[in-house]
Amino acid sequence: MTTGQAAKEFCRVALNYGGGPGAELPILDGRKADLPGWETCGFELLDHSSAVTDWNDDEEIARVHYPEIIALVKELTGCDHALVSNHIKRSPDEAKRHSDFSPIPLVHSDFADSYGDVVRQIYRDGGRTEAAEREGVSPDIVDSARRLMILQFWRNLGPAKMDLPLAFCDARTVSADELRPFPVSNYAGSGIDFDALAFAPSDEHQWYAFPEMTVDEVVAFRTFDSARIGTGEIYCTPHSAFRDPEVELGKPSRSSIEIRPLCLWT
C-alpha cells in the first residue's frame, strides 16, 4: 500500500476545483492512514505543543511562536535558515478584517513555480526586514540561496470539531499537468502580487483530513520547493477547506493559524 487506500473514510463532500462544487469525494481519516510523511506525500500531522498562552495576542505569537516554528522547520528539513515574516489566523473575527482571512473552500496551493523569483525580489526591495533581521539573514543570502522551500504549518485554535476543517491531497496522486496557475493581487492588503495554483479535478486524487485536531498538534505541508521545479516531482500540496457534514456552519466556526516559513539552503 503506497497511498493509504485502506484508510477509514471520514466523510464525503463536494470539493470545489473551480467553477463550484463538483461530485462528492471521499475524505479519508489521516489519523488511521498509512501515510509516509510530508517529504513523500506532501503533508504530515505532528505533535507540537507551544508555549503561547494567548493566541489572540499577535505580539506574543511573534515573540514566542515564531522561534518555535523556526526550530521545528529546521529540524524537519535540515535547512540553513528559516524566516517567518507573519502569520495568518482564520476565524469570523479575522474575516471581518479582510475577506482573504476566511477559510478558503477552493482546491488550491499557495504558490506557483514563479514564487522563488517573487520572494527574492521582495527581499531585494527591502521587504520583510524584521524576519531577516531576527535570523541575521541579509537580502543577499536570500538572493543567492541554492534552494527555497515553503513548509507551512496549520494549527487548530478552536474546538476540536469545526464547520470548515482543512483537507490535504496526497501529492503522489497529483500530476504536473493538473496544475493551473492563477494571479493573486494585493493579498489581504499586503501589496504583494503572486501566482497561486488551482488544479484540474481527477478521480486519482486521494484526500485526507485529521479529525478533531487539538492546539497541541500541527499539520506540516509543503507548498513550494525550488529543488523540485522542473523535475516532474510535485512541489506543492493541494488543500481546501471543506464542510464537515456533522457541524452546522458557525456552530462552531473554524479558528486556526497558519505560519509559512521560508526555508533557505545556502
* CATH level 2 (architecture), domain 9-265: Sandwich (2.60)
What are the extents of the domains in the chain?
9-265
Look up residue 179 and give its three cell numbers.
496544475
pLDDT at 21: 84
User: Using CA atoms, how far apart are residues 72 and 44, in angstroms rounded to an integer?
Assistant: 13
Helix (H, G, I), strand (E, B) or coil at 33: coil
Q: What is the pLDDT of residue 6?
A: 63
Q: How far apart are CA 162 and CA 189, in angstroms?
A: 27
Distance CA 205, CA 240 (A): 13
State residue 62's pLDDT score: 97
Hey, what's the cell of 35?
501515510
Cα–Cα distance for residue pair 27/253, rounded to 1 Å: 20
Per-block average pLDDT, block size 10, for the chain (266 residues)?
Answer: 64 92 91 96 98 98 98 98 97 93 96 96 93 94 97 98 97 95 92 94 96 97 97 96 96 98 98
User: Is the alpha carbon torsion for 197, 198, 201, 203 positive or negative?
Assistant: positive
Distance CA 162, CA 131 (A): 32
**Per-residue pLDDT, 2:** 42
